[in-house]
Amino acid sequence: MRILISEQRISERVQQLGQQLSADYSGRPLTIVAVLTGSLVLLADLIRCISTPLKVTLISASSYGGTRTTSGELSINDSMLSDLTGRDVLVLDDIFDTGRTIDGLLQHLQVRNPASLKTAVLLWKPARTEVSFRPDYCGFQIPDEFVVGYGLDYNDHFRHLPFIGIPDAEDLQAAV
């Protein structure tokens, strides 16, 4: 598998994001809404780089249809989500592809009356964006390639890889 972003580069960038978030949210306790399952690896690393008080809560979003990327209708499960009223909320996901997943999540969370609502992703594919807004925090802009690793999956495989890679046909065939 070709490595697009190495473990080392991810680690450096996640540290920078943590510092930036610590500065931006200083004095404003943060609530991170982590989107299952893709954000789990990023969540674990990023929160250890944030020095200001924060809470973590979970939401799950999946779209019916594609095994690769979003297609079809978004299904949101917020049964684990804590109260967001008056909180400064940051939605954390693995990737902003078309942006439709995060768009749906923002609409879903806005009605819970957070004090503020922003988005952070590890990866953003600008060429594929189909919504009018952009992620507030982004680790890396990447080309329009299907990637796996560091939380990102194909058929729930490859999430454990410590780097971001571009799987070849053989890799995908093996992921059953």
Smallest distance, Å, CB 83 to Mg ion?
27
Which residue's CB is nearer to ligand IMP, number 85 or number 132?
132
Binder to Mg ion among 14, 35, 38, 158 (CB under 5 A)? 38
Instruction: Quote the CA–CA distance of 100 and 86 in Å, as a whole number.
Output: 25
Choose among ligand IMP, Mg ion, none what residue 98 binds, the Cβ cut-off being 5 to 8 Å by kind.
ligand IMP
Q: Which residues neighbour 169 within 8 Å (Cβ) at sequence distance 6 or greater? A: none
Binding site for ligand IMP (CB under 6 A): 38, 69-70, 93-101, 146-148, 152
Q: How far is it, in rounded angstroms, from Cα 131 to Cα 86?
A: 26
CA dist 33 and 55 (Å) reads 9
User: Quick one: CA torsion of 160, 70, 63, 88, rounded to 10 degrees?
Assistant: 80
Catalytic residue (one of 45, 88, 93, 97):
97
| Residue 146, binding choice from Mg ion, ligand IMP, none, Cβ under 5 to 8 Å by partner class | ligand IMP
**Is 156 a known active-site residue?**
no
